[in-house]
Structure 1
Amino acid sequence: MDLKIDNQRFLVCGASSGFGRAIAEQLLDEGASIIAVARRKEKLDELKKEYGEAVAVVVGDLTKDETHNEIESAIGNSTLHGVVINSGGPPALTPLETALYDWDKAYESVMRWKIELVLRLVSYFTAGDYGRILFVESKSVKQPIPSLVLSNSYRAAVVGFAKSLSQEVAGKGITVNVLAPGAHDTPAINRVIKKRSDDSGKSLEEVRQEMEAGVPVGRFGKPEEFASLAAWILSPHASYVTGQTISHDGGAIQGIFG
């Protein structure tokens, strides 16, 4: 399928690894150009070396205002067609292992910056009566994950924001959706494996095998599989899909609306 994004430009947050990197590469392979944002300059430079002028790089911490300012400078007067709001998650903790400090830090890293950046970017989309806003969150917004109370809580709040925003901008050619990935072979899964290993006394490999066995398809997802779905949602083909939280989890969510 031709996604019809070969002349479009996207902002991809957390583009140095994991889901962000996979989505960035998928969009570039489809002929789009991107603004890639992350803290690790060497990883972004690798992406730019491979894809050349199709990649603009912003190195910075997404929780900082100065990074948002640099993003706007990178957009300049050009048209922005979509944004992928994505970053790593907070520490793996149970409710009773947390302190209020942990909640304050998680609010900044999981929720606050996303709202601030999206509110800045909406005007770029309304100016052209077109836009795609895609949040990459977690299956925890539909089914809480043990030992991830900070992620469970704040990612669900992001979904509430996304749904509300989707209704406000739907008539302006702008879609707002959330992808809720289950376990995938990305660096982020390692913190969950380590936490479960520490709590259970089992080896990392034992925990990994148990987690994979618990997925109905029998394995972790591949980042490129996830990225192909993201690219379609970011394309003109998905103009009637908005306000949705779509799982990509190999059937792991137990609920009927998983």
Structure 2
Amino acid sequence: MELLHSGKVREVYADGRDILLVASDRISIYDVVLPTAIPDKGKILTQLSLWWFEQLADVVPNHVVSSTDVPAEWAGRAVRCERLEMVMVECIARGYLAGSGLKEYERDGAVSGVSLPAGLIEASQLPEPIFTPTTKVPPGQGHDEFMTYADVEAKVGSDVAAELRRITLEVYKRGQQVAAKNGIIIADTKIELGFAADGTLTLGDELLTPDSSRFWAADEWKPGGTQRYLDKQFLRDWSSTLTDWDRTAPGPEIPDEVVEATRNRYVEVYERLTGDTWR
């Protein structure tokens, strides 16, 4: 098979008409791949994405062809997928104020040009979920920047922009409903969309995982400060305590206790959402 792309976390291989998406145990923060892996991370991301694709199959088509027709050495962490022409917009939905969205709000009173009420604080629930797209910058060429909806229309046209917003918000709302039944808040999430061969906008990459979303324990949610993250924000917070790392490569080694705490969060959110015990 031909290696088409090696990303921060996944390798993409060509296999006939399909592609194979293989998730590694690598972890990245601030666009830097850290030298320490998180055991089982790739399998957890893959299995959780597959679970979500099934949960949301009636909302939007996805790229999954098979989760079993893959080489044995990649079993559990690889998915055979339909090739998509990816839309060069990062589609993000936010239902709570955190991360870069919080910083944008504190500066402008808005996120991606969407005005928000005054007086919101960290982890505040928004009046309604909002679409806050960003640019999609290739690795090593800078960081993604917020886009307004008008920017998206200018890039992909008004019809496609409207569908990107509709699908992103519907995926978030449905995901949040499902997660809430299991005691999880999805503060925000990023999805990838592309065009299938017949022109249908289709979900690709991963879906509602600890790498692409902020997950909080609902019974511990308290606006006004940092939440107990069940995602890789925990690792970002750990890295912020380092005085000798400037968020550029090479990244720091992760101590064993932080590796274990990170893995435990990935396992916890998988088990709470799916109801299955991680093997």
TM-score (norm 2): 0.27
More strand by share: 2
More helix by share: 1
